[in-house]
Chains A and B, each alone.
Chain A
Amino acid sequence: ILPRFPFCSLYSSHLFSQNDGCRSLSLSGHVGVDSLPDQLVNKSIKQGFCFNILCIGETGIGKSTLIDSLFNTSFDDPVSTHFQPNVRLRAQTYELQESNVRLKLTIVSTVGFGDQIKKEESYQPIVDYIDAQFEAYLQEELKIKRSLHSYHDTRIHVCLYFISPTGHSLKSLDLLTMKSLDSKVNIIPIIGKADSVSKTELQKFKVKLMSELVSNGVQIYQFPTDDETVSEINAIMNGHLPFAVVGSTEEVKVENKMVKARQYPWGIVQVEDENHCDFVKLREMLICTNMEDLREQTHARHYELYRRCRLEEMGFRDTGPENKPVSLQEAYEAKRHEFYIEMQRKEEEMRQVFVQRVKEKEAILKEAEQEIQAKFEHLKRLHQEERLKLEKNRRVLEDEMAMFIKKKAAAELLQTQALVSTPVNFKKDKDRKK
């Protein structure tokens, strides 16, 4: 297995196929160029490998048991119930080591898949999860100060899709889910709990499944046949898809050996017996032979597709308006300029709206003012009228008072005159007047 760095691999295949007038040199002695792959290998071993598996399947179909069997450990997943209200994903990361190779393995499993009565939205959480991992990587890639070499790559490298061993065909949920995922992840379909399907039934079942996948246009992962060292075995394995697997963490004694198996009253199903199930084939293909290719395909095909769609969404193009190639920086500038203009436009709009509002408010206030003014005038008039009335009344009263005073004065005058002339008579008169 030749571990290759993600970015190198995109270019390395081109370097030696171009005939650009470069002459080939034959060496007369040992130079040491042949140690380059070893250096690469050493470096990558030091760094450690990272692999992410997504397991999709109904509750109870054997996802956890299969992963335990594949990696020869017990990952200790709790048994889930059928009554989950919607589909969730559970991710767990483990650090494994075999000889001197370290593997950071992340297993993501669906919880509650296929249990609901309404399953139209069942595949959405899975699609969202895969996209989220791509997005995280993209964000890291686009950063100004980035640290890709120490980035924990969480992108899903392979999806193991567990098909229920009904013996008939795919379920409607299987078809919908696989169609929504086939352009985002490498799908390897497998038949779970395959020890309930007899050999003849299995043949028919596999043929039916593959033909259904093909006729509905589902793109599953094909083991690569371009590398001569593995092309033959890969081609054969491609013909055995979907793999019918049986998993077990229990060991049974068979012929003085303890093997992973399932014990029935009528026989013992040995997990690692190729006659009994395709477990060994799956392990070989998934881990031993094609793990690196799966990682490469994820990065070079699925991730690139995601990235392109995302950037196009954001408004970036590879070619500018006159069909000239445009660099990312120019695209950035153009985008920024666009945003700036947009912002100015919005500001202008807001200003207009503000002015409009102010005018309206002023008009309203003016109207109110006029109203108040009118009221004031009206009140003033009323007040005036009152005052005139009161004035009139006062004058009348004053006239009356004046008359009274005059009368009083006249009477007093008469009185004093009477007193002077006849005091006796006056007394009588006075009495009489009284």
Chain B
Amino acid sequence: MSKQQPAQFTNPETPGYVGFANLPNQVHRKSVKKGFEFTLMVVGESGLGKSTLINSLFLTDLYPERIIPGAAEKIERTVQIEASTVEIEERGVKLRLTVVDTPGYSDAINCRDCFKTIISYIDEQFERYLHDESGLNRRHIIDNRVHCCFYFISPFGHGLKPLDVEFMKAIHNKVNIVPVIAKADTLSLKERERLKKRILDEIEEHGIKIYHLPDAESDEDEDFKEQTRLLKTSIPFCVVGSNQLIEAKGKKVRGRLYPWGVVEVENPEHNDFLKLRTMLITHMQDLQEVTQDLHYENFRSERLKRGGRKIEDEEANKDQILLEKEAELRRMQEMIARMQAQMQMQMHSGEGDSSAVQGHHV
């Protein structure tokens, strides 16, 4: 350090300048180079507008060859997991986005086993990450864990349905749930408020833990704080999705054309699409962090407590077994000590009695 030329690294205007204020830029540079990964899971009944919304959010067509089955095929349909990965680049920043779709959810007549497939998929991703993390070569860990789950609630009903409640309760400890109401163009503004309130009440009533946006830091600017506050009060988001360009008020906008008007996707007075997009992008990092620090850690500690049924890695196994053996040894030692003490006591008291005993024998 001392051998470097100080002239290049000191700023005469700020005495005592060290230079680590540059760290954020370094982080920025490295992260741009590394790229980002994000996995989004989409769950909801057929026909609620999931695919349209995903296409609208990322301005692409993720489902080019989609076949929608008829009612007869749906009667016994099981849930499938379809993951499609795309690479998005914007101003040099690369994002590897994986969208996990769950066709068949709630299609069958008997939906009892609807979410088993989904839960085992989420667990599998955690399992794989745990395995990679515990491995010897940890250079190329691919993070396929589900960072966020958009759960679609039907706008045609009065609130949550029994299946919604059960599903969310089954996954709220494993993944960040963001409830979404799509096809919001069927609700008037008053009906929207009523439905949002009803859903929030029901979520609280059933003890479902959805993803909560973190409060803005006190040192952030006012605009950001206001934006965060607005986002927080709008959950669940009522959105309309579309990638069709419609002519409205002299310009082309993305929207849906009806005989009575045009619903604009990006108009905040029409629906919460922009809010949802903002939330997703601004808080992508936070979603990943919560997945890592909360859900993954939960999974990991549960897993390790259960002990090596699924892990094939010997090291972790060995540690576990060693710990167990040590505990057992200690227990054994304690037991032996106790038994010895007992025997000693018996011998002492036995010495007093033994003469009498002998007398009897005689």
Question: How many chain-A residues does the 8 Å CB contact rule pick out?
Answer: 49
**B350 on interface, CB distance cutoff 8 Å:** no
Q: A83-B162, A168-B46, A196-B183 are in contact. Are A176 and B109 (CB under 8 A)?
A: yes
> Interface code A237-252, partner B: CB below 8 Å = 1, 0 otherwise?
0000000000000000
Which residues of B have CB within 8 Å of A199? 257-259
A116 to B166, CA, bound (A): 11
Which residues of B have CB within 8 Å of A192? 156
Which residues of B have CB within 8 Å of A321? none
Q: A169-B71, A195-B258 are in contact. Are A266 and B264 (CB under 8 A)?
A: yes
**B232 on interface, CB distance cutoff 8 Å:** no
**B42 on interface, CB distance cutoff 8 Å:** no
**A175 on interface, CB distance cutoff 8 Å:** yes
State how many angstroms separate the Cβ of B119 from the closest Cβ of chain A: 16
Which residues of A have CB within 8 Å of B111? 117-119
Q: Are B157 and A82 in contact (CB under 8 A)?
A: yes
Which residues of A have CB within 8 Å of B264? 266
Q: Are B70 and A170 in contact (CB under 8 A)?
A: yes
CB < 8 Å: which of B47, B162, B186, B261 contacts A115? B162
A209 to chain B: closest residue by CB: B71
B184 to chain A: closest residue by CB: A196
> Interface code B166-192, partner A: CB below 8 Å = 1, 0 otherwise?
100000000000000001011011000
> Interface code B317-328, partner A: CB below 8 Å = 1, 0 otherwise?
000000000000
CB < 8 Å: which of B47, B108, B162 contacts A116? B162
A120 to chain B: closest residue by CB: B109
A215 to B111, CA, bound (A): 25
Q: A171-B74, A216-B71, A216-B72 are in contact. Are A276 and B160 (CB under 8 A)?
A: no
**A269 on interface, CB distance cutoff 8 Å:** yes
Which residues of B have CB within 8 Å of A198? 256-258
**A353 on interface, CB distance cutoff 8 Å:** no
**B335 on interface, CB distance cutoff 8 Å:** no
Q: A166-B46, A176-B109, A269-B260 are in contact. Are A58 and B71 (CB under 8 A)?
A: no
State how many angstroms separate the Cβ of B45 from the closest Cβ of chain A: 8
B264 to chain A: closest residue by CB: A266
Among B166, B183, B258, B262, max chain A CB count under 10 A is at: B258
**B245 on interface, CB distance cutoff 8 Å:** no
**A105 on interface, CB distance cutoff 8 Å:** no
State how many angstroms separate the Cβ of B132 from the closest Cβ of chain A: 36
Which residues of A have CB within 8 Å of B154? 60
> Which residues of A (318-366) have their CB < 8 Å from a CB of B?
none
A269 to B159, CA, bound (A): 23
**B239 on interface, CB distance cutoff 8 Å:** no
Q: Are A171 and B259 in contact (CB under 8 A)?
A: no
> Which residues of A (49-69) have their CB < 8 Å from a CB of B?
58-61
CB < 8 Å: which of B70, B158, B188 contacts A212? B70
Q: Are B158 and A79 in contact (CB under 8 A)?
A: yes
Q: A176-B75, A276-B259 are in contact. Are A266 and B270 (CB under 8 A)?
A: yes
CB < 8 Å: which of A116, A168, A193, A267 contacts B186? A193
Q: A115-B161, A120-B109, A176-B109 are in contact. Are A165 and B261 (CB under 8 A)?
A: no
**B88 on interface, CB distance cutoff 8 Å:** no
Among A58, A264, A275, max chain B CB count under 10 A is at: A264
**A167 on interface, CB distance cutoff 8 Å:** yes
Q: A198-B256, A266-B262 are in contact. Are A166 and B108 (CB under 8 A)?
A: no
Interface positions of B (Cβ within 8 A of A): 45-48, 68-72, 74-75, 77, 107-112, 114, 154-163, 166, 183, 185-186, 188-189, 256-264, 269-270
**Further contacts, 12 of them, CB under 8 A, given A117-B166, A176-B75:** A58-B156, A82-B159, A83-B162, A171-B71, A172-B74, A193-B186, A195-B185, A216-B72, A264-B263, A267-B258, A268-B261, A270-B260
